Structure 1
Amino acid sequence: MRVPFIKMHGLGNDFVVLDARLAPLPAITATFASAIADRHTGIGCDQMIVLEPSETQSFRMRIFNSDGGEVEACGNATRAVALLHGEPAQIETAGGVLALEPSEGGATVDMGKPRFNWDQIPLDYPMDTLTMPVGWGALQHPSAVNVGNPHVIFFVDDADAIDLATLGPQIEHDPVFPQRVNVNVASLVGPDHLKLHVWERGAGLTRACGTGACATAVAAIRCKLAGEKVRVTLPGGDLIIEWREGESIRMTGPAAESFRGEFDWDDFA
């Protein structure tokens, strides 16, 4: 069975997109998704994205991290899908319904309202999510935000100085996060301007993380480190995040198609 794919990226966070809206695909397993994502023996990506029909929205988007696990949300992939779709749409995801507005070379996405309660993150036990009474080495007292998937955010003097490759997996798998967590380390580099590095749950260090940028900007606004419109600089480039208390998050940034191809399903099943 030959299957077409589209390779895309948002600020270097890259995806293999399988469009099953018209022709269904066989059942997708974690083994299949991780085989596709493998950069040595597969196509190679941070996430595999599957588009499917939806009974309630324009279509459905499923997201598989490079370890094969299916997750709730991916902001960069949502912008890429908006660019691919080419017109405004409401899409169904495991993290909620997202609104897409494609633009020249990218998109604006309504990412929904952030959630802050400890059991909405979720955490293992009740605690303040604005300044959590926990820490790991140089990273202490983070904020926690759920933006369709769980994030923990640390504000530090110099984000570049943190060994996130070591601390990231320790925090991701800490028992305080029963569904694991995305780890964000940010520093303020100017008025309403943050530098951010992200350890993604199930994917590791990536060049960009859209939901991480959203969660970090929201945490910065709640902590009064930034105003309601924040520029977030990641290794792959910049995103603009807008949020006002009680409202949805709006994320604006680029996306691009890299190339198209096809593969034999049985080679990865």
Structure 2
Amino acid sequence: MRQHPDAGGDFPYWLVAVFAALVWAFWQVVTQDIYLDVLSKLSRGIWITLQVSVVGYLSACAVGLALALMQRSGNIVVRQVARGYVEIMRGIPILVLLLYVAFVLAPALVALWNWSAGYTGAEELRTRDFPFVWRATLALVLAYSSFLAEVFRAGLQSIDIGQVEAAEALGLNRWQRFRHVIWPQAVRIVMPPLGNDFVAMLKDSSLVSVVGVQDIAQIGKLTAAGNFRYFETYNVVALVYLTMTIALSLALRAFERHLKRNDR
């Protein structure tokens, strides 16, 4: 029987081609001094990129799940607050939100803290005490939590209502129904889009360079401005991002296959 093109059973020839290109690129890096010099400088930014991506994504997942549950609340005020947050954040470009958080929201939060410190006796802060790396992470959390909220909401709504009613008839309370019936099934449904959003956040983390955070993109820009070797510098920058995203994508696909085998 002829296999449908969308069945996903084709041998990944594209991966072989990409792997060969990566091997060739890494060979250029390790055999030429200019590439090694650029890579050594970028290594400092790799950890910042991973920190922003991982911390931001985990925080966005927590906020997104809370928003999804709020949208299913029986309280109309809670539902409307969650819906309003999601729609507003999804309507603002991430770059604009990043600049707004870095230069408007962060100083406002510091001012609010200092105002409350007059009543609580806490130590006052200066605006520069709020590092830009955390301002950038906060912006990514605000942006991606709105997207992840819709992913979680779709996953929760996909569970058959009959199963929930059966669990309720067995005497399970709301938390028990969520923990034992809804969540185990929903998490398998939302795993692929969650993985895609993690890859997207890893790439979008390069936007934090616009506020001076020393990530891969920012260090690459400064390195190119200093050595005027734009071709070599941005080749290494692209190679580092490509290596991370492809490795992450393959790991996520392997995890999805593992989940499918366990479901059989």
Does TM, normalized by the shorter one, top 0.5?
no
Higher gyration radius (CA):
2
Higher relative contact order (CA 8 A, sep 6+): 2
In the superposition, the TM-score normalised over structure 1's length comes to 0.24
Between Structure 1 and Structure 2, the one with more helix by share is: 2
Bigger strand share: 1
